[in-house]
Amino acid sequence: NEGVLSSSAAIEDSNLDLTLRPKRFNDFIGQDRIKENLHIYIKAAKKRGEPIDHVLFSGPPGLGKTTLSQIIASETNTAIRTTSGPILDKPADLAGILTNLQQGEILFIDEIHRLNTNVEEYLYSAMEDFSIDIIIDQGQKARSVKINLQRFTLIGATTREGLLTAPLRSRFGVLEKLEFYPWEDLYKIVCNSARKLAIPIEVKGAEAIAKRSRGTPRIANRFLRRIRDVAQVLGEDGKDVIDEKIALRGLEMLGVDENGLCEMDRKILQTVVKSGGGPIGLKTIAVSVNEQEDTIEEVYESFLIQRGYLEKTPRGRIATKQTYEHLGVHKQMPAQK
Ligand code: ADP
């Protein structure tokens, strides 16, 4: 049963995320500029005896936004409360959380671009003045009461910085954008994870995984685990080591090609090429590949654009020379009349 399989795989993945999540800056590989900045902000805030300023992390999924937020909490010795934009349905939900925050605590809001407008507006005064107005009583007796909050730090995470409203964005003192990781960083992450999970792996095997993990630690960790299964079943002479051969075999079984593109990436590119190379709208692509527009933008396109397989123009997406080369098709020139 596919459904059962995939949901148990999802649970395994999230458990894996928890096991492998770095707890301190020292274990967090790469993103050096961001780490240095955060280090300074934390040190300065400590010196002043104040909580750090509100922080916004943006970037594609799986790059370490949640991990960094938790590291900030442990480095500053503070508690972190976690929620997400879509969960906070009503202002009262947010008010409940805010009024329970202690001095210096961190409120982490994942997918902050998906906050309801009325909840978001509520957050403005909380972030700026550390106070909120709540309405008590109903009907004619209804009146607004101002409640002071403890000084807290809001950390927001978003995969779609462009969707954040200007007033919300402007209330963050620290804005950090996470970039896809170079394969050398992913190589270190794969080796560390293999060590933590006691998975035997060779240098070439770790390199193969690192080079095809879409610049994303979460994907590198997931591939590592799936390829361990392959090694255990298909390893020669009963050895379960991930060498280069096993890694490449496993990646192929996962549908990942030599440039690290997956089945969905190729479908998207093929759709653009079939349309004559674009420009083609996101909606049309979404219908053609049977995937949600949001997911295409956040998960697939961001990587394809970064790697030069796709260009985004105001009129739609267009294929690049590299797209044609990768798919092994020749660009059709417009028919001569
Ligand atoms: P996001 O919140 O951006 O979606 P997460 O913080 O949940 O991403 O990261 C996903 C997983 O990837 C984490 O559990 C962790 O194991 C791993 N990870 C992310 N960034 C790093 C890093 N820089 N070094 C080591 N592991 C990382």
Q: Which pLDDT tens digit goes with each residue over 210-245?
A: 999 999 999 999 999 999 999 988 877 778 899 999
pLDDT of residue 72: 97
pLDDT of residue 331: 74
Distance 323 CA to ligand 1 centre (A): 29
What is this structure's pTM? Answer: 0.90
C-beta of residue 75 within 8 angstroms of C-beta of residue 193: no
Distance CA 163, CA 149 (A): 28
Instruction: Calculate mean pLDDT across residues 296-323.
Output: 94
- Mean pLDDT across the chain: 91
pLDDT of residue 18: 76
pLDDT-wise least confident of 6-10, 57-61, 170-174, 250-254: 6-10
- Is the minimum distance from the CB of 224 to ligand 1 under 6 angstroms? no
Distance CA 31, CA 189 (A): 12
Catalytic residues: 65-66, 110, 159, 218
Distance CA 207, CA 6 (A): 27
pLDDT of residue 166 exceeding 90, the answer is yes
pLDDT of residue 17: 73
- Is the minimum distance from the CB of 179 to ligand 1 under 6 angstroms? no
Instruction: Calculate mean pLDDT across residues 178-207.
Output: 96
- Is the minimum distance from the CB of 222 to ligand 1 under 6 angstroms? no
pLDDT of residue 5: 46
Q: Which candidate, 156, 50, 39, places its Cα nearest to that of 104?
A: 50
Rounded percentage of the chain residues whose pLDDT exceeds 70: 95
